[in-house]
Amino acid sequence: MKKYHYLKILPVIACFLSFTVWACRGASPDNPEPPNPPAVQGDVTMYITSASRTYDFLKTATDFSSKSNMSPTTIRLQPDTRYQTMDGFGAAITGSSCYNLLQMPPARRTQFLTETFSPTDGMGYSYVRIAIGCSDFSLSEYTCCDTRGIENFALTSEETQYVIPILKEILAINPALKIMGSPWTCPRWMKVDNLTNKQPYNSWTSGQLNPDYYQDYGTYFVKWIQAFADNGISIYSVTPQNEPLNRGNSASLYMGWEEQRDFVNTALVPKLKAAGLHTKVYLFDHNYNYDNIGTQNEYPAKIYAAGVDDEYVVGAAYHNYGGNRSELLNIHNKYPTKELVFTEASIGTWNDGRNLSARLLSDMQELALGTVINWCKGVIVWNLMLDANRGPNRAGGCQTCYGAVDIDLSNYTITKNSHYYIIGHLASVVKPGATRIGTSGYTATGITYAAFENTDATYALVLLNNTAENKTITIDDGSRHFSYAVPAQSVISYQWSKTTN
C-alpha cells in the first residue's frame, strides 16, 4: 500500500517542481524555456501514461531487486529469440502540420519539436512520412510537375516554405530521422480514365496512371528525391502510391496490383538504380482488407510472386481503416524475408479521438503494440499537428480528423491525443536498430507487452495494463530483475542497461 500511495503523489510532486523551475527561470508563455524536470535516478527508467491523465508521460525510475525472484507475475526476457529489427516510430509531417507549426513562436515550436523528436531530451520520434506532392492535408491540390513534360518538374511553395523548413528543424534535433515519401496522385496529365481507352482524365480524384508515362513518373520520383537531397534532406523510403485502391480521396489515383507491379518493375526501380539511389520501396500502403476488392486480396504478395528486385522492393506498408491486423502476420508468414511497416492511422470525431480515456488503451493495443507484435519494423500515424478546427483541411479530404496533437493557435495551447502518446511510449525506449526479442512467463487478459534489445546495450519493454487494477509485475532479464506496480489502465515503457555499472 505504501508503494501505491507513493505512485499517486508522484505526478503532483513532478508537476509542482517542474512549474517552480519554469517560473523561477523567468520564462513567459510567449517565449518559454523548456523546464528542467527533477532528475530521475534509478537502475530502470520508466515512462507512464494513464487513460485518466493522472500520469502524463511521467518519467520516473526504479532499482533492481536484491531479493530472490519468486513472483508469479514475472515476465522473462529471451534475447536469443529474435524477430524484426526496428526502423522507428513517428507521425506524418503534412503540409497542414507544417503550416500550424510555423504559426507558433519559434521558441515554443522548438520546445515542442524537441519534446517530440529529441532522442535525449524528448520522446525520440524517429520516422516520419511526407507527401510526394499534395495529400488530403495540404494547403492546396498540386503535384511537382503540373505543367505537361517531366522537364517542368520543380518543388512548390508548400515544400520550400513549409515542409522543408520544418524537416530541417527536426533534423537539427534528431539528425538520424528517417523520412518516407508517398504520392497521393501523379500529375493529372499522366492520368487516364481507364487502361483500355486511355482517355485523358483531368481530375485530382481517381483516374489511373497511363502506362505511356511510366518512365516519366519513375523520373518524377527520382527528381523529387534528388530535390530534397539538394536541400540536405535524405529520403529513406517511398511507397509507389498512397491508398492505391481508394478512388475517392481529394487527391487520389487507382493503382491495382498488376499496375503497381509493372510500374515498379519497369520504371521506378530501374530509374532509382540508374540515378544511384538506394531508397527503399514499400508496396501497397493501404488497408488490411484491401478495401474488400476480391481481385486485390494479398496485393503485395501477388507482386512478390510475380517477381521483384529484392534489393529495392523490401516490403509492404499497411493502414488500419479496414480489416484486421492479422493480415500482417498472414503476409509475413507467406514472405518472411519481406519487411512490414505500418504507415497510417487516424483519430477523429467518429472515434472520440480527443478523449484519451476512450482511445489510449485500444490504440496502444491495436495500433502500436499490435502492429509491432505482428512484425512491423516501423509505426507511423497520420497528422502530427492539426489546429483546433481540425485543419487546415480541404473539401474532399478528411473534415473530421484530429492530429496526434491539436493546437489552439489563439494561445498556442497544445492538446496531446492518444496517437502522440502511443508513438512516444515506443520511441522513448525502443531505438532505431533495436531488435524485438522473445519473452516468456506472465500473461493475463488485459496485459500486452513487447520486449526489445537496443544497439546501445540496453533492454526495453513496453507494456499495456488494460485492467481496472494496479498490477505489480516483475521483469527479469536473466541477470537482474525488478518489480513495479503498473497503474490501472495505463501504458508503461521501461529501459535499462544490460550490464551493471
14 or 63: which carries more pLDDT confidence? 63
Residue tagged 489510449 (cell numbers): 360
Q: Predicted confidence band at 37 (pLDDT cuts at 50, 70, 90)?
A: low
Q: Predicted confidence band at 397 (pLDDT cuts at 50, 70, 90)?
A: confident
When pLDDT is averaged across residues 241-248 and rounded to a whole number, the result is 97
Residue tagged 527479469 (cell numbers): 476
Q: What percentage of the chain has pLDDT greater than the value 70?
A: 92
pTM above 0.85, yes or no: yes
pLDDT the model gives residue 2: 36
Each residue of 435-455: b (16+ CB within 10 Å) or e? bbbebebbeeeebbbbbbbbe
The dotted CATH code for 44-86+435-501 is 2.60.40.1180
Residue tagged 508503494 (cell numbers): 3
20, containing H or E segment: helix 2-24
Q: Predicted confidence band at 394 (pLDDT cuts at 50, 70, 90)?
A: confident
30 or 58: which carries more pLDDT confidence? 58
When pLDDT is averaged across residues 389-415 and rounded to a whole number, the result is 95
When pLDDT is averaged across residues 201-219 and rounded to a whole number, the result is 98
Taking the CA atoms of 110, 115, 117 and 120 in sequence, report the sign of the dihedral they define: positive
Q: How far apart are CA 404 and CA 418, in angstroms?
A: 7
Q: How far apart are CA 169 and CA 70, in angstroms?
A: 49
Mutual orientation of helices 106-117 and 95-103 as an angle, nearest 10°? 130
Q: Which amino acid is at 125?
A: Y
Tens digits of residue pLDDT in 155-179: 999 999 999 999 999 999 999 999 9
Q: Predicted confidence band at 21 (pLDDT cuts at 50, 70, 90)?
A: very low
| 3-class secondary-structure state, position 218 | helix
Tens digits of residue pLDDT in 433-467: 999 999 999 999 999 999 999 999 999 999 999 99
Tens digits of residue pLDDT in 303-343: 999 999 999 999 999 999 999 999 999 999 999 999 999 99
List the grid coordinates of 27.
520564462
Domain boundaries, the chain: 1-39, 44-86+435-501, 87-427
Residue tagged 493546437 (cell numbers): 407
Per-residue pLDDT for 12 more than 80? no
Q: Predicted confidence band at 121 (pLDDT cuts at 50, 70, 90)?
A: very high
What does R_g of the chain's alpha carbons equal in angstroms? 23
List the grid coordinates of 438.
522473445
Which residues, other chains included, contact 267 with Cβ-Cβ below 8 Å and sequence gap of 6+?
Answer: 214, 215, 217, 218
User: What would be the CATH architecture of the domain defined by 87-427?
Assistant: Alpha-Beta Barrel (3.20)
pLDDT the model gives residue 370: 98
pLDDT the model gives residue 40: 80
